Amino acid sequence: MLNHQYDLLDFGRNEKLECIGGVVVRRETPSAPGGKASSVDWGQARLRGKVAGDKYSWDGIAPADWRFDAGDFQLQLKPTPSGQVGVFPEQSVNWEWIKRCPADLAGLKAINLFGYTGATTLSLANRGAQVVHVDAAKSVVSWARANAQTSGLADSPIRWMVEDALTFVRRELKRGNKYDIIVADPPSFGRGPKGERWKLQRDLFHLIESLSELSRGRCKMVLLSCHTPGVDHRQLKSEVESQFHFEAGTGESFALELRTKENKSLPSGNCFRWVAD
Ligand SMILES: C[S@@+](CC[C@H](N)C(=O)[O-])C[C@H]1O[C@@H](n2cnc3c(N)ncnc32)[C@H](O)[C@@H]1O
């Protein structure tokens, strides 16, 4: 699926070396344990990201038309003060799952919370789902919208919402709105547009509970992932299954990861997904 759009070249000592959309990027990350491979030239990076206080600083200049071509959609890339560049490639297994899933998603109502630059929203739109894309950051929602345009999906039925995820879900419940497809990729900590605080360890259970209510009686697909240390996929699975009363379907949970050519695995979060038969 990634068609050489992404290669993890090496990682270690809290840094990653990656080739993303043809550009070699070296960046600090607290979650890259172990040592570096002696065979890899870390000096080849065109962009270098370093933690500076609670922000990121970048050395080097990214190409103006830097893009990640996922085949069915395109993501514009750029270095940001959060240390991200606009794509989480470990999610590509889920884009592929959506693309290949045998269920007919056309016309189904989907909600994608913490949707970032829109990769999963665009995967769902490509299958004909009507998606409500929710993220707290206005700039990121504009970026996702631009990605829809670049991907030829500007006229797809996508609603772009700059909202606090939990507040939006509670409001939808009050309005009596329901969804067939539930997607959420919450960060460990976050803030809504009005300063609402998101803390995964405290709020995840309430979110899952509300999402089960939001899709009661019509749930066709659930995709929940997170990157928080201490939350593993078995825990996600048991929390989701205890709230959602799934009927016939297939569910699975697994650790997300990225791998180097040498088969070194970089843990990159956890995931639960379920689809109705
Ligand atoms: C881990 S990223 C999601 C990655 C995305 N699912 C993907 O694969 O491209 C987390 C996103 O959550 C958003 N966010 C943080 N706090 C939020 C909140 N309280 N409500 C809504 N979105 C929030 C951030 O702006 C960020 O875009």
Read off the pTM. 0.96
Q: Whose CA is nearest to atom 26 of ligand 1?
A: 116
Report whether residue 190 contacts ligand 1, using a CB cutoff of 6 Å: yes
Helix-strand-coil percent breakdown of the chain, rounded to 5?
Answer: 25, 35, 40
Residue 140 alpha carbon, nearest atom of ligand 1:
27
Q: Are residues 180 and 128 in the same domain?
A: yes
For residues 16 and 45, the answer to whether their CB atoms sit within 8 Å is no
Domain that holds residue 126: 89-276
CA of 139 to the centre of ligand 1 (A): 12
Q: Are residues 17 and 126 in the same domain?
A: no
Domain boundary among 20, 47, 76: 76
Q: Whose CA is nearest to atom 19 of ligand 1?
A: 192
Looking up residue 28, the CATH number of its domain turns out to be: 2.60.40
| Count of domains observed in the chain | 2
Q: What are the pLDDT tens digits along the chain (277 aa)?
A: 566 799 999 999 999 999 999 999 999 988 888 888 888 999 999 999 999 888 889 999 999 999 999 999 999 999 999 999 999 999 999 999 999 999 999 999 999 999 999 999 999 999 999 999 999 999 999 999 999 999 999 999 999 999 999 999 999 999 999 999 999 999 999 999 999 999 999 999 999 999 999 999 999 999 999 988 778 999 999 999 999 989 899 999 999 999 999 999 999 999 999 999 9
Find the DSSP H helices in the chain.
Answer: 92-100, 119-126, 138-150, 165-175, 200-214, 233-243
Q: Are residues 124 and 220 in the same domain?
A: yes
Q: Are residues 220 and 180 in the same domain?
A: yes
Report whether residue 183 contacts ligand 1, using a CB cutoff of 6 Å: no
84 in a structural domain: no
Looking up residue 249, the CATH number of its domain turns out to be: 3.40.50.150
State residue 265 phi and psi, 5-degree precision.
-105, 130
For residues 135 and 82, the answer to whether their CB atoms sit within 8 Å is no
1 in a structural domain: no
